[in-house]
Amino acid sequence: MKIYNLTNTISNYNKELDYTLDKNSAEIVVVGGKKINLRSFPKLKGIFKTGVGIDNLPFEDAEKRGIKIQLPSYETKEIIYNETASFSLYLILKFVYRETGVFSSWEKNNRKSLEDYGVLVMGTGKIGSKLIDRLSNLCNVKTYDPLDNSEEELEYLLKRADIVSLHMPLIRETEHFFDHKKLALLKNGALLINTSRGPIIQEDALYNELNNGRINASIDVFWKEPYNGKLTTIKSKNIYLTPHVASTCREFLEGLAKDFLHFYNNLM
């Protein structure tokens, strides 16, 4: 059974299997964040997703053609949730302790204490709730979820947050959710973290805020990946970009490889 990779996430695993660069002969596609055009794969029998986001999966069209779609197992999903929450915590701590002092001159900066930071976690699902658990004894945590809170509440929360961490799924209601109006509500010097989905933020609006140096951002997910867009042209210290690695630990990759092999064998 021939396999076509739309992502290199687990390309170093299961190398004994039969991989192809020919879409016309592919029977299984391994997909990450890219959308898949089923018309390009006439012999397709299965799609394996290497993450938990489902916004790029063609469920309806796949069902019509009898193509099976497989997400990671429960055990692998838990690794994704935990590691993404931990990576988000790392981005928060990296920002808080970014300028502690200068060793060569023994200079100590007068910094704000961690417990005095206000962190707004947006999205209280699997990942957001785990981040909340990690932060609850460290700083002042507030939460917002589009399913539970109103836009009026969000305006109040955004104006007062030192750090905003996004953990919402990409659906029609959340695409470009963070536009220029919402970004303008952030206080000067605030940090915006996105480890969820790139299109939740409007790219041009974020670029304008970062380019004028008003806010900070740590971005791990993008509008098109690999990303080579306008954020890469910003040279100031107020932006930190990572290549969609929030969940990419060894255990996650090994779990995906095991899940894929199980899916492959079931399709045989």
At which residue do the structure tokens 């900070």 appear? 216
CA–CA separation, 3 and 47 (whole Å): 10
Residue pair 28/48 in contact (Cβ under 8 Å)? The answer is: yes
Question: Element (H or E) spanning 101, and its range?
Answer: strand 101-102
The answer, yes or no, to whether the previous bond of 72 is cis (omega within 30 of 0) is no
Q: Which long-range contacts (CB under 8 A, 24 or more apart) does 39-44 make?
A: 41/4
CA–CA separation, 53 and 59 (whole Å): 13
What is the maximum alpha-carbon separation in the chain? 68
Reading the block at residue 78, the tokens are 């838990």
**Positive or negative: CA dihedral 57, 256, 8, 216:** positive
**Positive or negative: CA dihedral 53, 234, 210, 203:** negative
CA–CA separation, 28 and 19 (whole Å): 9
Residue type, 223: W
At which residue do the structure tokens 């990296």 appear? 94
Catalytic residues: 197, 225, 244
